[in-house]
Amino acid sequence: MSFRPAAYAVCVEDGSVLLARHVPPTGESSWTLPGGRVEHGEDPIDPVIREVTEETGCDAVVGRLLGVDSRVIPAAAARAGVDHQNAGVSG
Protein backbone atom coordinates (compact mmCIF):
# COMPACT_ATOMS: atom_id res chain seq x y z
CA MET A 1 0.00 0.00 0.00
CA SER A 2 1.27 3.47 -0.82
CA PHE A 3 0.90 6.33 1.67
CA ARG A 4 0.75 10.04 0.93
CA PRO A 5 0.53 12.76 3.58
CA ALA A 6 -1.02 15.92 2.18
CA ALA A 7 -2.00 19.37 3.42
CA TYR A 8 -4.90 21.48 2.13
CA ALA A 9 -6.09 25.04 2.64
CA VAL A 10 -9.63 26.05 3.49
CA CYS A 11 -9.87 29.67 2.32
CA VAL A 12 -13.18 31.42 2.99
CA GLU A 13 -13.99 35.00 2.04
CA ASP A 14 -17.43 36.61 2.14
CA GLY A 15 -19.05 33.17 2.41
CA SER A 16 -17.23 31.75 -0.64
CA VAL A 17 -14.71 28.89 -0.53
CA LEU A 18 -11.63 28.97 -2.76
CA LEU A 19 -11.27 25.82 -4.91
CA ALA A 20 -8.62 24.75 -7.40
CA ARG A 21 -9.45 22.89 -10.61
CA HIS A 22 -7.61 19.57 -10.81
CA VAL A 23 -7.03 18.35 -14.38
CA PRO A 24 -5.44 14.88 -14.41
CA PRO A 25 -3.57 13.64 -17.51
CA THR A 26 -6.43 11.24 -18.14
CA GLY A 27 -10.03 11.58 -17.04
CA GLU A 28 -12.35 14.43 -16.19
CA SER A 29 -11.34 17.51 -14.25
CA SER A 30 -12.64 18.08 -10.73
CA TRP A 31 -12.62 20.79 -8.07
CA THR A 32 -10.63 20.43 -4.87
CA LEU A 33 -9.22 22.42 -2.00
CA PRO A 34 -5.82 23.86 -2.91
CA GLY A 35 -3.06 21.73 -1.43
CA GLY A 36 -0.67 18.91 -2.05
CA ARG A 37 1.98 16.50 -0.89
CA VAL A 38 3.84 16.99 2.38
CA GLU A 39 7.46 16.00 1.78
CA HIS A 40 9.37 13.94 4.36
CA GLY A 41 10.36 16.17 7.29
CA GLU A 42 8.33 19.15 6.01
CA ASP A 43 6.02 21.12 8.30
CA PRO A 44 2.45 20.83 6.85
CA ILE A 45 2.09 24.63 6.89
CA ASP A 46 4.79 25.01 4.22
CA PRO A 47 3.07 22.95 1.48
CA VAL A 48 -0.25 24.69 2.20
CA ILE A 49 1.30 28.09 1.52
CA ARG A 50 3.27 26.80 -1.49
CA GLU A 51 0.35 24.97 -3.11
CA VAL A 52 -2.15 27.83 -2.65
CA THR A 53 0.28 30.11 -4.48
CA GLU A 54 1.04 27.55 -7.23
CA GLU A 55 -2.56 26.51 -7.82
CA THR A 56 -4.40 29.83 -7.42
CA GLY A 57 -1.86 32.67 -7.57
CA CYS A 58 -3.10 33.85 -4.16
CA ASP A 59 -0.97 34.39 -1.05
CA ALA A 60 -1.92 32.28 1.97
CA VAL A 61 -1.58 32.78 5.71
CA VAL A 62 -2.32 29.69 7.79
CA GLY A 63 -4.41 30.59 10.81
CA ARG A 64 -4.98 27.24 12.49
CA LEU A 65 -5.43 23.53 12.01
CA LEU A 66 -8.99 22.72 10.99
CA GLY A 67 -8.92 18.95 10.72
CA VAL A 68 -7.22 15.73 9.78
CA ASP A 69 -8.76 13.05 7.58
CA SER A 70 -7.68 9.75 6.14
CA ARG A 71 -9.07 7.67 3.31
CA VAL A 72 -8.04 4.45 1.64
CA ILE A 73 -8.42 4.22 -2.12
CA PRO A 74 -8.71 0.62 -3.38
CA ALA A 75 -6.22 -0.50 -6.03
CA ALA A 76 -8.97 -0.66 -8.67
CA ALA A 77 -9.63 3.08 -8.27
CA ALA A 78 -6.11 4.31 -7.45
CA ARG A 79 -3.96 5.90 -10.18
CA ALA A 80 -0.96 3.68 -9.39
CA GLY A 81 -3.05 0.51 -9.35
CA VAL A 82 -2.19 -0.35 -5.72
CA ASP A 83 -4.11 0.32 -2.51
CA HIS A 84 -3.38 3.89 -1.46
CA GLN A 85 -3.92 5.79 1.79
CA ASN A 86 -4.18 9.58 1.71
CA ALA A 87 -3.86 11.37 5.05
CA GLY A 88 -4.81 15.03 4.80
CA VAL A 89 -4.29 17.97 7.14
CA SER A 90 -6.49 21.04 6.58
CA GLY A 91 -5.76 24.52 7.79
pLDDT in tens, 29-66: 889 899 988 998 999 899 999 999 999 999 988 988 88
Prediction pTM value: 0.75
Q: Domain-by-domain residue ranges, the chain?
A: 2-90
Contacts of residue 57, defined as CB under 8 A and 6 or more positions apart, other chains included, come to none
Strands (E), 9-75: 12-13, 16-17, 20-22, 30-32, 35-37, 67-73
Secondary-structure class of domain 2-90 per CATH: alpha beta
